[in-house]
Structure 1
Amino acid sequence: MKIVINGIHANLRFASAHMIPCHEFCGGIHGHSYHVDVTVEGERGGEFGFVVDFKTVKGRVREICKKLDHKLLVPENSKEIEFKNIDKYVEFSIKDKEYKIPREDCCLLPLPSTSAEALSEYFVEKLFQALSREGADIQAMEICVNEGIGQGACFEKIVK
């Protein structure tokens, strides 16, 4: 059995800036109004026969969205980014470009990129961990991180 949550209608959204270092068009800082679609597959169980409670899933996804909302998403594991400081300011360079941004305006992510592909995998891992701690018996999960309507990337984790 699967549950499906449409991010636009369920208000699973965040607005963030990012860059894809060294990419011809996406290399500069730019932003998106993201929305997150979620599919969770598992056995029905518990008192109510749910795969997992919609409210629980939406709450956990909103927590992740809130962490990213209105921040510059910076991939800590990027091969193209050289960090100089991450304390009060996040200071880094990409080739000949230098950046210095207040730490409170950044969200450093343990990712090689902040592409929709990398963000969808990040969301799956975070949500899977949270739901597993709460006892959900999940067989598969897919999350699509959309960079606006009609454009996104999906990552699926199969546990079966």
Structure 2
Amino acid sequence: MATRIFVRKDTFKFSCAHMTVFPDGSKERLHGHNYFVSVALDLADASLDQLIDFGSLKAAIAALCGEWKERLLLAAHNPHFELLRDSGNEIEFRLCGQRYVLPAADVLLLPTDNTTVERLAECFCERLLAAAAPGWPAGAVTAVEVTVTESPGQGATVRQSPIGAP
């Protein structure tokens, strides 16, 4: 019998800023969203030896939300992004021809080509798998879905399947 478990909590959220870059090299103005995250796991079976601990899963989700909270999220692999300087205290970069200097603690560079909700869901899923999957019994999880919403009724869901050995 196929089993799916899921977690959705009001506390699985992060408020952050971003700028979506468009294919023509233009971008949105710097703005923010209050993002919410939910996660679903498809299980091979629900037997005792394949148990997934909700507590550790929720802790991993909350930790990632905390890392992204109140940050400017930047796509490090965007062709219109150029990191000019990272002194440890400040980060200087150019995005779509505009120069920015910000406290380094306020910026998070993500390994993606854009900061759309679709790409944020992908990055979150990858980071969650890296953090949580090593604690799962081998073969227990057959797929992971991560949903990130940026406003009520608007978001993206990514599905990672199969789940390989970490």
Q: Same fold (TM over 0.5)?
A: yes
Aligned pairs, how many? 156
Could you say what the CA RMSD is over the residues aligned between the two structures, in angstroms? 2.1
- The answer on 1:66 being equivalent to 2:66 is yes
The correspondence of residues 1-160 of structure 1 with structure 2, limited to 5 A, is 1-8=3-10, 11-22=11-22, 27-42=28-43, 43-46=45-48, 50=51, 52-87=52-87, 88-136=89-137, 137-159=140-162
Post-superposition Cα deviations, 1:22-75, rounded to whole Å, max 9, x if no partner, equal: 47996111000000011111122336x63x222221110111111000011111
- Which runs of 5 or more residues in structure 1 are unaligned? none
- Check 1:157–1:59 CA distance in 2 against 1; reply closer, same or farther (3 A cut): same
Q: Tell me, yes or no, if the aligned pair for 1:21 and 1:81 is still in contact at 8 Å.
A: no
- Percent identity (aligned): 27
- Which runs of 5 or more residues in structure 2 are unaligned? none
Cα distance in 2, alignment partners of residues 7 and 103 from structure 1: 29
Cα distance in 2, alignment partners of residues 41 and 71 from structure 1: 31
- TM-score, structure 1 as length reference: 0.88
Secondary structure of 2:124's counterpart equals: helix
Cα distance in 1, alignment partners of residues 144 and 131 from structure 2: 13
- Check 1:130–1:96 CA distance in 2 against 1; reply closer, same or farther (3 A cut): closer
Shift of 1:159: 0.9
